[in-house]
Amino acid sequence: MSDLKKIAEAVFEGDYETVHDLTQQAIDGGVPAMEIVSNGLLAGMDIVAPKFKSGEMFIPEVMMSAKALAEGLKLVKPLLSTDESDGMATFLMATVKGDLHDIGKNLVVMIMESGGFNVVDLGIDVSPEQFVEGIKKHKPQIVGMCALLTTTMMAMKETIDAITEAGLRDSVKILVGGAPLYPEFAEKIGADGYCVDAVACKEMAAALVA
C-alpha cells in the first residue's frame, strides 16, 4: 500500500496517532502538501462518507475520522501557508446557522490562507446576525458560507437577506459551498458564486478581487 493510501486508511480508521506519524513521514519525504491533503487525508474521508450514508459507520466513528483528519491537516497547514501573494483581501468565512460541519470550512480556510487572503473564521452554527456583525467589524471584500445539510442550505439565503437588509450587500462578494449545493441554488439565493471545492473558492475569490 502506498504511503498516501495508508494515511487515507488511518483517517478512515480514526487512528489519529498513525495519521500524525504517516503525515509527518510524507512531509519529511518531500511529498507536496496538497498531494497529502487530496490523496491521503481527504481520500480517507471519501471512504467514510458513503459508509456513514449507508449506516455502516456511526457518528462516534465519523468523529474519530474527523479528529484524525484534523491531526494531519494541522501538520500540513504551515506548508500550505507559504504561498506568496500580494492580494491580502479579507475573506470572512463560516458554516451557517444550525450546521456543525467544519471539515470543509476548515479546508477552505487553509487554502484561502495559502492563497494570501487575510481570513477571518467565525466558526460553525453562525447566525445571519453574527455574519452581519462580522462584516461590520472586519470589513471583508469576500464572504464565504458553508452548509452541509439540505436543512441548513436555506440559512444561506436568510444570511444573504440579512446582509442586504443591513445595507452591506454591495460592499461584499458572497461565495457559497458545501456538498449539497449546486450552481443554480447559489444563483437563486443571490450569491455571487458557487465553489465546488476549496481550490475553486480560492480561484473565484482571486478573480473577484482582481
Min CB(189)–ligand B1M separation in Å = 13
Binding-residue pattern over the window 90 to 129 for ligand B1M, x denoting contact by CB under 6 A: --------xxxxxxxx-xx---------------------
Which positions from 7 through 26 interact with ligand B1M, judged by CB under 6 A?
none
Neighbours of 124 (CB within 10 A): 17
Using CB under 6 A as the binding rule, whether residue 146 contacts ligand B1M is answered as yes
Nearer Cβ to ligand B1M (6/101): 101
| Spatial separation of the C-alpha atoms in residues 159 and 145, rounded to whole Å | 9
Using CB under 6 A as the binding rule, whether residue 175 contacts ligand B1M is answered as yes
- Mind giving me the DSSP string for 84-122? --S---EEEEEEETT----HHHHHHHHHHHHTT-EEEEE
| Spatial separation of the C-alpha atoms in residues 160 and 150, rounded to whole Å | 17
Binding-residue pattern over the window 46 to 65 for ligand B1M, x denoting contact by CB under 6 A: --xx--xx-----x--xx--
Using CB under 6 A as the binding rule, whether residue 148 contacts ligand B1M is answered as yes
Residue 142's alpha-carbon distances to 28, 57, 134, in angstroms, are 35, 36, 12
- Determine the interface stretch with ligand B1M among 5-13, 44-52, 128-136, 158-166 (rule: CB under 6 A): 44-52
| Spatial separation of the C-alpha atoms in residues 140 and 92, rounded to whole Å | 6
Using CB under 6 A as the binding rule, whether residue 177 contacts ligand B1M is answered as yes
| Spatial separation of the C-alpha atoms in residues 142 and 102, rounded to whole Å | 19
Contact residues: ligand B1M, CB under 6 A: 42, 45, 48-49, 52-53, 59, 62-63, 66, 98-105, 107-108, 144-146, 148-151, 175-180, 195, 197-198, 201
